Amino acid sequence: EKGGIEFYWISHLEHLQRRSNGEVGYEVYLDPKLHEWATARDDDGKLSNILTLDNHYFDITSGLERWLYLWARKSASWKHDGFWQESFELLREKSSTTRGTRQFRHHLRQIIKRNAMPGYDLMEITTPKGPALGVSRRQDSTLLMSPKSIEQRSLEL
């Protein structure tokens, strides 16, 4: 593209060899701008450009719940006041589920009832256009529980 800015992920690639001229591998150098961007920190000292996953994400067994976590992580970020709302129907479309509308709503309501998503509170919101999922960031890290912990706790009750 004429007049555009060129950017390369890899600024330099070096082929490494053994003494017998047999290949060992490659040494890869990332573009310094990429490294600078990836290691940038905010005022609190946290990486500001990297989207991380809560360790409890890997305890989630439901495919829909994993997808919702990733979607919420992107949509209900601190930069967006920590709240996000989406209609059940749009969530169904975006998730590319093969479930019917009634099945999807039932499964989504089960996830909301458990409210076990790491780092987020889930709620059903009634809107003029139908039910919607409300997701807000949990403010207190002590509220974080793994889905397995919540399931175990509910079994004990």
Which runs of consecutive H residues, i.e. helices, occur in the chain? 32-38, 63-75, 88-95, 101-114, 147-156
Report the pLDDT value the prediction gives residue 40, as an integer from 0 to 100: 87
Q: How confident is the model at residue 17 (pLDDT cuts 50, 70, 90)?
A: confident
Which runs of consecutive H residues, i.e. helices, occur in 24-87? 32-38, 63-75
Per-residue pLDDT averaged across 70-84, rounded? 73
Report the pLDDT value the prediction gives residue 154, as an integer from 0 to 100: 47
Q: Give the global pTM.
A: 0.61
Q: How does the average pLDDT of the chain come out, rounded?
A: 80
CA 64-79-121 angle, to 5 degrees, is 40
